[in-house]
């Protein structure tokens, strides 16, 4: 049965070495991508090896538009059910965080109608406008793209296994925009060439500036800044607004004559002391939290937003329970 087959370790390793792709390995063995990812992680732990994936370059881009955005707004049309929102993953080669594993668990558990990558999945460390800090080592763009494709591919596989028609949406973040901003500033002659837009490398995810879950709930990477951003976001916009960018992971309710609405910050899927931030933060404390948001809708109305937060390595705190996600 597809997704249940037990494949001999040596055979899986041989095929992975040849194909270097979860999608291709899954197709070869007639299993799901999720099972292919699971087998890969199990073998890496068992044999203390790293199974490298193919570089994310060889793709057919002919049918694609050459900008991240197709429309500024994506209308999701949610009425009832769950939407899961994560942001600021800053995916790094070889790193699978507790919050990332918790996200996979939550997607399997709650079978969301949409999974929203709310910006800054791509970090762009080597093409930042800021100078390099000392001799800090940063992954190349190619290595980062590969890390993003691996992680987002795993999320995609779990999401589609949970709900076949799940919406995968990616509002652009400021770090994501580094990819095209750098090319626009330094390689103007390549404008319009396929592969020179970030979305070309992530074809399963719908790009936009904002995702409107209902007429009263919007998800976008950023709006206001500062410690009171969640309050100011919903006060100023007049609706519930779900943002990332500040890594703070919190919910601020706001009530007036129109009723209740919410400002939500979805935190960071990265570890707050991750390699992405080591030199940038200079080992200073930050008011950040690692986790993501779970949004539930009834009759197109948003219930009080729930947050999943990293409690300890391999453990997330959700709804007053500690969930062990270390095996994912």
pLDDT digits 0-9 by tens, 206-230: 999 999 999 999 999 999 999 999 9
Cβ atoms of residues 122 and 176 within 8 Å: yes
pLDDT at residue number 93: 92
> Roughly how many angstroms between the first and final C-alpha of the chain, as a whole number?
22
Cβ atoms of residues 187 and 196 within 8 Å: yes
CATH 1.10.1740.110, applies to 73-324: no
Encoded tokens for 190: 């390549």
Q: Is 142 helix (H, G, I), strand (E, B) or coil?
A: helix
pTM: 0.85
Cβ atoms of residues 146 and 93 within 8 Å: yes
Give the count of beta carbons closer than 10 Å to the beta carbon of residue 215: 10
Cβ atoms of residues 267 and 242 within 8 Å: no
Helix/strand number for the chain, H first, E second? 8, 15
**Which residues face 86 on adjacent strands?**
117
Report angle CA 258, 259, 264 to the nearest 5 degrees: 115
What average pLDDT does the segment 137-157 reach?
A: 93
Q: Pairing state of beta strands 306-312 and 291-298?
A: antiparallel
For the chain, give every domain's residue range. 9-47, 73-324
- DSSP output for 134-173: TT-----HHHHHHHHHHHHHHHHHHHHHH-TT-EEEEE--
What are 165-187's pLDDT values in tens digits? 999 999 999 999 999 988 988 98
Of the candidates 117, 159, 150, the one whose C-alpha atom is nearest the C-alpha of residue 269 is 117
* Predicted confidence (pLDDT) at residue 69 exceeds the cutoff of 60: no
Residue 201 φ/ψ, nearest 5 degrees? -95, 0
pLDDT at residue number 2: 44
Q: What is the mean pLDDT of the chain?
A: 89
Cβ atoms of residues 104 and 156 within 8 Å: no
Cβ atoms of residues 171 and 209 within 8 Å: yes
Percentage of the chain modeled with pLDDT above 90 = 64
């Amino acid at each position: 049965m597809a997704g249940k087959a037990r494949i001999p370790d040596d055979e899986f390793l041989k095929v992975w070495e040849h194909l270097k792709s979860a999608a291709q390995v899954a197709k070869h063995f007639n299993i799901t991508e999720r099972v292919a990812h699971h087998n890969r992680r199990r073998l890496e732990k068992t044999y203390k090896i790293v199974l490298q994936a193919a570089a994310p370059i060889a793709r057919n881009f002919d049918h694609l538009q050459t900008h991240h955005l197709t429309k500024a707004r994506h209308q999701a049309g949610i009425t009832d059910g769950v939407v899961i929102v994560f942001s600021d993953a800053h995916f790094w080669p070889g790193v699978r965080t507790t919050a990332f594993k918790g996200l996979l668990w939550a997607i399997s558990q709650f079978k969301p109608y949409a999974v929203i990558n709310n910006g800054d999945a791509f970090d762009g460390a080597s093409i930042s406008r800021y100078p390099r800090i000392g001799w800090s080592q940063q992954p190349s763009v190619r290595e980062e793209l590969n890390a993003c494709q691996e992680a987002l591919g795993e999320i995609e596989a779990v999401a589609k296994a949970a709900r076949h028609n799940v919406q995968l949406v990616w509002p652009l973040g400021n770090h994501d925009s580094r990819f095209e901003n750098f090319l626009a500033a330094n390689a103007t002659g390549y404008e319009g060439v396929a592969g020179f837009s970030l979305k070309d490398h992530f074809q399963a995810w719908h790009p936009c500036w904002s995702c409107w879950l209902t007429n009263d709930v919007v998800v976008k990477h950023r709006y206001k800044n500062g410690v009171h951003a969640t309050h100011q976001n919903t006060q100023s916009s007049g609706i519930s607004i779900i943002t990332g960018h500040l890594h703070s992971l919190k919910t601020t309710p706001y009530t007036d004559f129109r009723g209740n609405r919410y400002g939500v910050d979805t935190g960071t899927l990265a570890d707050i002391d991750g390699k992405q931030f080591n030199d940038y933060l200079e080992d200073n404390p930050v008011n950040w939290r690692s986790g993501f948001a779970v949004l539930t809708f009834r009759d197109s109305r948003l219930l009080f937003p729930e947050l999943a937060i990293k409690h300890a390595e391999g453990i997330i705190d959700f709804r007053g329970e500690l969930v062990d996600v270390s095996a994912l």
